Chain A
Amino acid sequence: MSATIETPRAPQPVRRQRRFNFEKWGWIYMRASGVVLVVLIFGHLFVNLFAGEGVKAIDFAFVGGKLSQPFWQIWDTLLLWLALIHGANGMRTIVNDYASNRLLRVIFKGALIASAVVLLVLGTLVIYTFDPCPAGSPANLLPSFCPAG
Chain B
Amino acid sequence: MSTAVLDNSPSVPEVIPTFTATLIIRRFDPEVDDEPRWQDFDVEMRGTDRILDALHKIKWEQDGSLTFRRSCAHGVCGSDAMRINGRNRLACKTLIKDLDISKPIYVEAIKGLPLEKDLIVNMDPFFESFKAVQPFLIASSKPDKERLQSPVERARFDDTTKCILCAACTSSCPVFWTDGQYFGPAAIVNAHRFIFDSRDEGSEVRLDILNDQEGVWRCRTTFNCTEACPRGIQVTQAIAEVKAAVLRGKP
Question: Which residues does A use to contact B, with CB under 8 Å?
Answer: 1-5, 7-9, 12, 15-16, 18, 21-24, 26-28, 93, 96-98, 100
Identity of the chain A residue whose Cβ is nearest the Cβ of B180 in the assembled complex: A100
Pair count A-B, CB < 8 A: 58
Complex Cα–Cα for A12 and B130 (A): 11
Interface of chain B residues 174 through 217 with chain A (CB within 8 A): 174-175, 178-179, 201-202, 204-205, 208-209, 211-213, 215, 217
Would you call B131 and A24 a contact (CB within 8 A)? Answer: no
- Tell whether A7 pairs with B134 under 8 Å between CB atoms, given A16-B212, A18-B208, A22-B213: yes
Would you call B211 and A2 a contact (CB within 8 A)? Answer: no
List, in ascending order, chain B residues with CB within 8 A of A100's CB. 178
Q: Is B243 an interface residue (CB 8 A)?
A: yes
Q: Is B138 an interface residue (CB 8 A)?
A: yes
Identity of the chain B residue whose Cβ is nearest the Cβ of A23 in the assembled complex: B217
Identity of the chain A residue whose Cβ is nearest the Cβ of B209 in the assembled complex: A15
Distance of A33 from chain B, by nearest CB (Å): 16
Would you call A12 and B217 a contact (CB within 8 A)? Answer: no
Complex Cα–Cα for A99 and B218 (A): 15
- Tell whether A12 pairs with B131 under 8 Å between CB atoms, given A2-B204, A3-B201, A27-B217: yes
Complex Cα–Cα for A56 and B204 (A): 58
- Tell whether A27 pairs with B243 under 8 Å between CB atoms, given A15-B209, A21-B211: yes
Q: Is B19 an interface residue (CB 8 A)?
A: no
